Chains A and B, each alone.
Chain A
Amino acid sequence: MDKSIEAIWKEGFLNEKSLVAPKINDLYNQKSIHLVDRMLRMFRINLIVILITAIVFPVIYYFLDALWQGLTASVLLLLTAWYNKRQIDRIKTLDQGSTSLDYLRSLDQWLRDILSKSEKIARFSYPLYLLIAISTIWSVWDKQGLTLKIHQKFPNLTVIGNIPLFLLIVAGIIVLLMFIFSAKIYKWEVRLMYGRVFGKLKETIAEMEKLKQ
C-alpha cells in the first residue's frame, strides 16, 4: 500500500452519495419519548418545589410570629401538590394509540384539560394566597403596635374585629383584583415555566402530521 492516506480517503469517497445511511425507523418515536420525558421531569421538579415550599413556609411564618397563616399556606400548597401528583399519574392512563403521534395528541389534549382545570383552581387559590400574605403583614404590623397608633391618630375610625374598616375594604379590593386577573397571571406563569416545552410539543405534532401526509 503505497498511496498516501489523503489519496486513499479521496478515492474511497469519490462518490460520497453512494454512502448508504442506515434507516431511521424510530427517530420520531425517540423524539416523542424525549419530549414526554422532559415534560414529566419538569412537572416532577415543580412538584418537589411545591412540597419544599410547603415545609419551609410554616418555619418562616413561625419566626414571623404568624404560624397559623404559615400552616394555612402550607395546607394550600400540599393540596396543590396532591392535585398535581394525581394529574401527573393520569399520564400513565393516556391512550398510547398505535403510533407516537396518537400518544402526543392525547398528551396535548391532556395538557389542555389540566391547564383549563388549573386555571379555574387558580381563580380561588391565588386570592387565598394573597389573603394569607395580607393577613401575615397585618399580623406583623399589629404586633409592632400599628393598630394602636392608628386608633390614637384616628379615634373615630370604624373598626371591625380590631381591624379598621378602610383596611378591610382595601384588602377586599386587592383580593377581588387578584380574583379577576388570576387566570391571566396563571397563564403567564405557565408560559414562563413550560412555554418552551409546550411549544415543542405542538411543533413536533405538526411535524409528524406533515410527515404522515
Chain B
Amino acid sequence: MKTATNQENERCYEETNRTKTNKVSTDFYQLSILPFAGIIIKICRAYTNSQEDFEDYYQEVCLQIWRSRDNFCQQCEWSTWVYRISINVCLTLLKRKKKDGKTYFTSDALPDVMLIENNAFEDESLNLLYAAIRHLSEVDRALILLYLDEKSYQEIADVLNTNANNIGVRVNRIKERLKKILHG
C-alpha cells in the first residue's frame, strides 16, 4: 500500500516526464529528485551519524540518481528506483567508511553520543527510533525502512534484490530487536 505522499510523488514524476517530452532540457534535480527527497532523507539518516555525513550521502545519492537516469526502465516505479539507488549508495559509502571502524553495534544498548548527534527530526520518538535503526546491520536497516514506508514484501524484495518469502519473518525479527533496543 502506498502512502499519500508517495502517490503524490508518483504524480509529480509523471508530470516531470510530460514536461520532459515538451522541453528538451529540464532541471533534473528540481523535477525528478526534489519531489522524492523525503525517501532519500529517510534512508541517508539511517546510515549516517552526523549532519556532515548526512549531507555528503544525500549529495552522492542525488549524483548517482542523475548518473543512472538512463538505466531507469519503466519496469518499476521511479520511487522504487530512488529507493534502490539510495540504499545502494548508502551501503557503498558505508562499506568505504567501515575500513575506519564499526558502523553498527551488536549490543542492544544505545550509545549516548548517537542520541546527542542525531536530533535530526522534530519528533523525539522518531530520533530515538532512528538511533535504534542505526543499531541494526546495513541490510536490516534498509529492510525496516522500506517496511515502515509501507512497501509491500514484493517491493521490498525487488529493491533489495532478494526473495519475498522470508521478508515477513525477517521484519518481525527486526521489529522485536528494535523494541528491545527502544524499551531496554
Contacts and interface: CB of A to CB of B under 8 A. Distances in A.
Interface of A: 1, 3, 5-6, 8-9, 11-13, 16-19, 21-22, 24, 26-27, 30-31, 34, 203, 206-207, 209-211
B121 interface: yes
A18 B54 CA distance: 17
Given A5-B129, A16-B5, A21-B34, A203 B25 contact: yes
Nearest to B148: A9
A21 B40 contact: yes
Q: Main SS of the interface on chain B?
A: helix
Given A8-B125, A12-B125, A30 B63 contact: yes
Instruction: Pick from B24, B25, B37, B148 the residue with the most CB of A within 10 Å.
Output: B25
Q: Main SS of the interface on chain A?
A: helix
A12 B40 contact: no
Interface in B140-166: 144, 148-149
Contact of A1 (B54, B63, B128): B128
A26 B55 CA distance: 12
Contacts of B100: none
B136 to A, nearest CB: 12
A211 B28 CA distance: 10
Contacts of A19: 37-38, 41-42
28 contacts: A1-B125, A1-B182, A5-B178, A5-B179, A6-B148, A8-B125, A8-B129, A9-B126, A11-B123, A11-B125, A12-B123, A13-B38, A16-B38, A17-B5, A17-B38, A19-B37, A19-B41, A21-B37, A21-B40, A22-B54, A22-B58, A24-B58, A24-B62, A26-B59, A27-B66, A30-B59, A207-B27, A210-B26
